[in-house]
Structure 1
Amino acid sequence: MMYGTFRPFLAADFQVKFATQTWEKRGAARLRHEVFCHEQGLFAGDDRDAVDDTAIPLVAVSLLGLLADDVVGTVRIHEAEPGLWWGSRLAVAPDYRKVGALGAALIRLAVSSAHARGCTRFLAHVQAQNALLFRRLHWNVVEEKELHGRPHFLMQADLAFYPPILDAETGFRSASRTAPLRKAA
């Protein structure tokens, strides 16, 4: 009898919410560091900046049944001036990028929670390879630019497609579009 190697278990259910627990904030920081420093090499050492002092971190937490397991996605939002909000540092763990629409769920909560807090304009600098996702989610290109040595788009969300979400501390559950397959590697 032959035994194969199996891929690790990937959750199919998630809670997308403001990071309110210390472990969630640490998980968001860890994931950002992994994605932006190690994987993409955009920052040497640390991706934290002055925005982190006032930003609200959001997380996608994988669920095992009803129990929270791990931070598998994150983004931060902040109000730069009255009514003007920004989203930045959107990251999804590599194993979860094809499981479902975690990036889209994080974007939805980011814009809708800012909308509930008086946002009249929501902007983000989006890496060129992610611009199509944002366009599908009703974002428009304002201008093209280079940041951190890579092409980016300054994009603006169409707030008409993002109704206010008042309870972002609880957020919402999001299931993967397709359950992850468990087959031998």
Structure 2
Amino acid sequence: MNGMTKLGGMGLALAALVVVADQAVKAWILTGLNLPQIATLKVLGPFYLTMVWNPGVSFGFLQAQHDLVRWALAAFSIAVAVMLAVWVRRTERPLFAVAVGLVMGGAVGNVIDRIRFGAVADFVDVSRIGFFPWVFNVADSAISIGICLLLLDMLRQDGRERAAKTAGDAA
């Protein structure tokens, strides 16, 4: 099969949807709500909107205080997104397509911020719950969910391969 599968196209479309949603929410946070001026806004219970400019990768890991690191992280994110796009094109596994679409979209959403602002706009704050101290955004959420789904897909695929091998050995 040389072309893109329907599921591959779905994965790419989901990535585009994540980018649009992430950037739309960030535009509202930055300009509509003007969160950089407000700093923190209580929404409901332990859920706050808190403006954090994250120069690192997801959840503040690997801080990029220098421009060289910023551009290296941007280039790495773009490379990962391109590799995932190539990888997902021919998939026949729905869960894999969704997972890769989420990771790609999240990576591109955050790289747009890194290029535009020099840091990623984070604002979802549930740190008052006590066990999750990070402030994050829509793109980070998509990446995290996508990675969990990738792991689940790998486990399912391994299980199918073991079952096929067992059935083949029994025959």
Shorter chain as denominator, the TM-score bin is: under 0.3
The structure with the largest helix share of the pair is: 2
Greater relative contact order (Cα 8 A, min sep 6): structure 1 or 2? 2
TM-score (structure 1 length as normaliser): 0.23
TM-score (structure 2 length as normaliser): 0.24
